Amino acid sequence: MNDTKPDALPRLVPLLDVRSICRTYDDGTVRALKDVSFSVFRGEYVAIMGPSGSGKSTLLNLLGALDHPCRGEICFEGQSLATLRDLDRFRARTIGFVFQSFHLLPTLTALENVQIPMFEGTLNRRARVQKAEELLCLVGLSHRLKHVPQKLSVGERQRVAIARALANDPLVLLADEPTGNLDSRAGAGVLDLFDQLHRERGVTLIVITHGAEVAARAERTIWIRDGQIDLLQMSGGVVTRCAV
């Protein structure tokens, strides 16, 4: 992986290329993923849907370099994750995580939480604060900078988590059930924010969900069932059955 991010790749070259990955657990008795292949291009908004136990979370963990496939490979910008020695640094620079449970640090304010990933970067203190303020303004929380998570609503906490995920200008934002713990109004607000990020900043989004209303916002939906890709659905309802 290069240390500097490349300029915009041609859209035809995938940003993320998943090639026949398999993942098993318990000495092979549980096959969470079987021969999954797909690609995600820069600037795409992709939803991965499936029932519980279908392998969505396993797939998310592999895409986020939190786990390794037993077979196959995952490539970012043409480089296989298996060849990377420092996955911590890769995640810091490439992936922005948004978790269902937010996972904000409880003793830090919103402004401080957003700065946490930046410690692995090169920004000085002043620059970190400035960037964190900008990101929180972007997500509509300019008036809540000094609040700790306990003083924020669940929707606001998720917005802080989204701002944190954008801290190091990642190549891709991975969201695991981002509206799972939110009420419908807060959830809609978060989805509107994703739309805004995708539209205005060209953020590449991969959202794991089992909610149809979430998937409806995406440009493309990958359906996964029993560890395999079942069908691919484009926005507008065009459906293709089989793995891509």
Partner 1 sequence: MLFLEVIAKNLMRRKTRTLLTIAGLAAAVATSTALLSSAWSFASSSRDYYSSRGVDVVVCRAGVSERITSSLSAALAGRLRALPDVAWAEGSLTEMVSLGERALIGIPMHGVDPSGPTADKLEVTSGRKLAAGDHRAVLLGSALAEGLKHRPGETLQIEGTAFHIAGVFQTADAIEANTIIAPLTDVQDLMGRPGQVSEFQIRAVPAANDTSISRLCREIESLHDASGRSLGFKALPMRKFVDSDTETRLTWAMAWGTSVVAVGLSLVAMLNTMLMSVLERTKEFGLLRAIGWTRGRVMRMVLGESLVIGLCASLGGAAGAGLFVRALGTWSYTRNFVQPTLSAEAVVLGIALTIFAGVAGSLYPAYRGATCVPLTALHFE
In angstroms, give the least distance from the CB of 88 to partner 1: 5
Return all residues near 160 (Cβ < 8 A) that are at least 6 apart.
102, 104, 110, 113, 114, 136, 139, 141, 144, 149, 152
Torsion of CA 157, 160, 164, 167, to 10 degrees: 170
Q: Is 200 in the site for partner 1 (CB under 8 A)?
A: no
Binds partner 1 (CB under 8 A): choice among 37, 82, 107, 183: 107
Q: Is 159 in the site for partner 1 (CB under 8 A)?
A: no
Choices 10-18, 75-83, 85-93, 186-194; region in contact with partner 1 by CB under 8 A: 85-93
Q: Is 76 in the site for partner 1 (CB under 8 A)?
A: no
Binds partner 1 (CB under 8 A): choice among 22, 84, 129, 188: 129
If the CB atoms of residues 113 and 233 are measured against partner 1, the closer one turns out to be 113
Binds partner 1 (CB under 8 A): choice among 33, 92, 138, 193: 92
In angstroms, give the least distance from the CB of 120 to partner 1: 5
Strands 71-76 and 220-225 turn out to be unpaired
Q: What's the order of all strands across the beta sheet hosting 172-176?
A: 95-98, 172-176, 204-209, 45-49, 220-225, 228-234, 239-241
Binds partner 1 (CB under 8 A): choice among 13, 66, 82, 234: 66
Q: Is 158 in the site for partner 1 (CB under 8 A)?
A: no
Q: Is 144 in the site for partner 1 (CB under 8 A)?
A: no
Q: Is 120 in the site for partner 1 (CB under 8 A)?
A: yes
Q: Is 86 in the site for partner 1 (CB under 8 A)?
A: yes
